[in-house]
Structure 1
Amino acid sequence: MSLLKKVQAFFSAHTETAEQHSNPDLRSRYYKATVKKAMDAVQAAASSRGGCAVTSVSEERGEISVHIQKPKSALLVATVISVRPFETAIDFSVSTDTPLPTDFGYSRKVILEYYKKLDSELKFVGAGLNSGK
């Protein structure tokens, strides 16, 4: 990850994961699970974290919205996509509600925290697996 990308990431109030993200920690993660099981795991991770409330669940779209109230106010949107039977990709997008132009890495920290919880609940297959296709 170049120095310019690191500076831009630090001075941002929004972070999201992607298949070909320049930061390897923020690449789409794949789990050996059904969409239903993965969505339940994301909801459980949100419920177990203090200061969070699941505001919307759309099983047809595979999206879950979570309002984070503590320690900083933020909106997390999780996208769960079935790639193959029993292989599911999970991506996150976090936008921090702050008057400053930066959240000092808070949104990135939230994503990594959720991925860590999911890694302990679901069987991790890999990150950015389809980036070369």
Structure 2
Amino acid sequence: MAYWLFKQEPSTYNYSQLEKDGKTIWDGVANNLALKHLRSVKKGDRALFYHTGEEKQVVGIMEITSDPYPDPKDRSLVVVDVRPAGRLAKPVTLDAIKRDSAFSDWELVRISRLSVMPVPDRLWDRIMKMSIR
């Protein structure tokens, strides 16, 4: 199983809405590097749900429930199906991540506009620990 971070503007779609819906298609990814990452996602992987915009924080965990497939609205793009797997006890803010040197080389810190990125196991574990402090 691999770990990922998926970003979304909460005014467009947020974790509470995902919990209410029970599942959704993760679409709207057009950046070439983000698409490359999304094409590497596999059914059964886990992803952090990150609220962008004013919030800038990791708020929940999603399970990937499909392998990538062509976006029905634009076949040059890909999408995956996701479902909520749990809200973090305490959101982990971008500020907290940036203050921790363990994250200094991570794409979230280095490439702020990237909407899909891998999360190395050690950073996933660190975020999980930060979310319960």
Is the pair's TM-score, using the shorter chain for normalization, greater than 0.5? no
- Higher relative contact order at CA 8 Å, sep ≥6: structure 1 or structure 2? 1
Larger Rg: 1
TM score, norm. by length of structure 1: 0.27
TM score, norm. by length of structure 2: 0.27
